Structure 1
């Protein structure tokens, strides 16, 4: 597993670290050419893609890729996003990398008084063709939401929204699913716990919503959704509450790494077995982020 960039003590990082889940060892990997945080990382084919985010507190539209299986350990330049954005969700589906919402500055709004706005924009990147395309907007603007591909749909949930009448600091419980073929959205059962700045993964036939912010506080709560029955259930909580962390599935387990508790970054890595229903402390990041 790879942990890429992020923030530590309020500064963006360019370091990349690789974790061997068998030996529990961390080793340095190919550094980014510049520090970056609030990006999206996505695995497509034999490459890892890093999309958007911020550097020196400025939003980015750059895209980079790295092949862990190549002898050439450098990040390659990919087709830029149509406009800079950060705080968005991403999911890989049908050979495309989708991005949802976040904050950014669409070209149509350049030269207005606004700087960055909360987005409902949906776009996808086709790496094989170096092409970005627009999709149907989400039903609501949101940032710090989560997205996960399951079956023939992509599920987008939670986050913050700044539409009129809403408080940006109020987390959302809403979930919608997107059909990329029909380009249509459908309302799904809301999460039991409103949350933002969290992570979602799909494993063992379920979608897991993990940690994040709820009620203005960091949480350890975990819930899972069965897309077949369309029902949510409560899962065992994390050992450590956290927000702004990374999560990934590997070899049938969920791994959660780093994040923020209070106002400080942490290094704890946890592992969840969906079958034994148990979280265990697995390791620690070499760098808090």
Structure 2
């Protein structure tokens, strides 16, 4: 059997998933239905918002299912009626066995890490935050424990020293789409040979997790080493974004600041961590444990994202604040 002969149901939600779905459709694979999240109100007007996957699916006239609950008998019947041979999951919810066990050829997931490393909700962020120089994508067959199924294929990509998680996202989105097609073909041809993640764990170092990121995880601690702060900024840019608070030295005024890009400059003799300096009115540097973090792109609360030159033109007393 060829990959393009089998009936595929695709499940996903964000832009990252659209690239894989688009690759399948544009290369002639038989996607008979799509499952995505229900429309949700968002924005100031609380208008109903469709997922990126739904928007693309509608443009291609592909049937879309949007269950509130994945064990809903109505949804299960609708899914069965699509008579899928294989289900492909990219950036979706955790599935119950009644769903992932339905197709005759099983269900595989595309995960944005080199499993078994970085299992969890935020693999891209944590890879950059931890200063990894390499990441990648993995396809694996689903089983009960999340992100633990037998690995089918992996593709590695380098992470540059100044790349953000946004940069990595865009690279892996395209690499992942190609890996999805490769995996579909191999499963259809019967040539996919899964390898247990436990085998890989036994060969290597301790497994690093990738838990969901919360607001407190994003706050910068200026007493830490500069490389660690730089990696945190990269690993959270553009979303959810690292942040700090500028507090006026001689007052109580506090201004929340999101930081999107920065450079680290190592120095032996530095000021108290959090000290803000503005050399030549062209740079904004914040002292850390072993040097200065030079901010190049940021956003004040209620303002647009801007480069440091524009920020300093409108915020001329920055040296009267310190970062906390």
**Larger RCO (CA under 8 A, 6+ residues apart):** 2
Q: Please tell me the TM-score bracket, short chain as reference.
A: under 0.3
Give the structure with the higher percent strand. Answer: 1
Q: TM-score, normalised by structure 2?
A: 0.23
Give the structure with the higher percent helix. Answer: 2
Q: TM-score, normalised by structure 1?
A: 0.24
